[in-house]
Structure 1
Amino acid sequence: MNISLASLAKAFCMLVLLSCAITSAYLTYSFMYELGSAIGVAAIFAIIGITLDLVKTISPTFIPTVAKQNSFIALLLVALTGSLMVISTIASISAIEKGANQMTVVTKQNVAITEQINNKKLELENLQLLSKTQLSANQISKANRTAITVSRVTDELNALYHAQSNAKDSSILSQYDSKITLFIAVSIEVVSVVMALTLHSLNTLEASVRSVSSPANTTVTPPSVSQQIQNVLPGVNTDKTLEMHFAASVLSEAKEAILSGAVKPSYRGLKAAFGIPQEQSKQILNLLHQQAILEPWNNGGYRLRAT
């Protein structure tokens, strides 16, 4: 997979996962807050709900990695994630249904009916008060006419209540509220898990691509090694790497042997003692000369510098 395409897919998965996590956390918060309010610990229940919901969202990304190390722990993690998903689904359904009921109440039709109901209730209360006043004043005929009006207004109020009930039941959300809320709640959980696992797979794939493009077993000679060898034997061609390493390794031994008098400072002496060719012997003798250990002698030869 192309790196740019993988990065785009990762960004998409991260965005969807974040959206699902925020939505699920909010719904769980609403449910737990209302549940905790009943016993006076709303804030504590809300914090617990958000924490469990975050654990539910993040835990699927750990399952594939944990499964490679310990299958038993992975099964426990799967069980924990499944349990938290069930709790989150219940919380989401409850919160969505509550919001759906509130949305139904505030529709234009229900607002109009509710306003008519309030007006009729106020009219009915005034008529009932008027009837009591007329009866206390022995105005029997007027009280009878008021009673008829009270009966009519009561019937109208009941009709408005019935119309309000039918208006709620006729909405699509009211007819299919249980199915819709269940679908939404389950979809949030499923999409969240799928995005988390997909994100883990993309990260694993990206790591594999990087390891293939720059394998760990590729051996590269550090520049510092070549520089050190060149400092020891500056005149040796860099193509002769093995010879350079060999000469560098015997340099200190040759120096000690010459200083002690065990080896003569000559090409033959170094070859006989260490088995190195003449070119490397020459470089070692030149280096010892530069270090003021040897001095030229007898037409191209060397001897220990007189102290």
Structure 2
Amino acid sequence: MGALVLTGVEKKFDGAVACSGIDLAIDEGEFFTFLGPSGCGKTTILRLIAGFLTPGKGSIYLGEREITHLEAEKRGVGMVFQNYALFPFLTVYENIAYGLKLQKRPGREVRSTVGRYMEMVGLSGFEKRGISELSGGEQQRVALARSLVTEPRVLLLDEPLSNLDARLRDKMRLEIKSLQKTLGITTIFVTHDQTEALTLSDRIAVFDKGRCEQVGTPQELYSHPANAFVAGFLGDTNLFEAAVEHGMAHLSSGIALRLPPPCKRGRFVSVRPQDISLAMTDPGGPNTFKGTLEETQMNGAWVEHVVAVKGLIFRAISLNTMEHRLGLNPGDDLFLSIPERGITLLDR
């Protein structure tokens, strides 16, 4: 049995299903991410694990012990909330020490443990600061230290980076991953941000409408999505309805794509933007089409091109290097090529 196991978990609110049929096994020391759009049930599942909610069906195990109906404070689970939920009337030290004092730990142990975790999250010297005197990143560190100081078996992080600016979010992402690996603590991270999920996770569970669509490593989910929803949510993709027959995928506009053998069935064609190549002259070969450049967006290290082909819009991404710069302007004609191995057939 894994460090944390959910079997057949379901939760309803006033008859509406928040999550259903949740079966997950999270390994000891794993950084596991719940990914999905707002309202998909991921935070509900996190609160079920924390003990703030009770499932209508199913069971939750931590190690060999069932915790489905156990009080939150007895579970050995720490949680960092989206808004951090710090006590504004307490100092940094008092916030971090709060859980230890509830456990009636000896004063010397409290001081030693709080000092160790404050140093670990880079807050040494902040003991007497008020919460209102801290930046967003510093408040997040306080929340992390407060959750970790009681040394829980599982750490739950509910979108802890969503209130930070982009640069600080990138920095804290690296710090959280490093801290988790140092401590070896089993961690569940909730986010709707695919970049956070891909860069932080050992494994990811993708949710939609209260159900788990797929579980796997970032590479597995990105390269082999189970369905059209996963392909579209985890990374950018060109997604088109298609009719498949005789090794060809026929799109609505009359475009026919040669498929890689063995030919599978599927209602949708998925092509990642970075797998599409563009050229000013016809390179020949299968799956090459003449199109018109609609728009170009420069995003620093890479460039996104929007290309119209027979009424369909394709998005292609290339590196912003001298070698890949085409020097094209909106309205120019060009040729778009899709390699057979870059085509994935999906259902739903």
TM class by shorter chain equals: under 0.3
Query: Normalised by the size of structure 2, how large is the TM-score?
Result: 0.17
Bigger Rg, which one? 1
**Higher helix proportion (structure 1 or 2):** 1
Query: Normalised by the size of structure 1, how large is the TM-score?
Result: 0.19
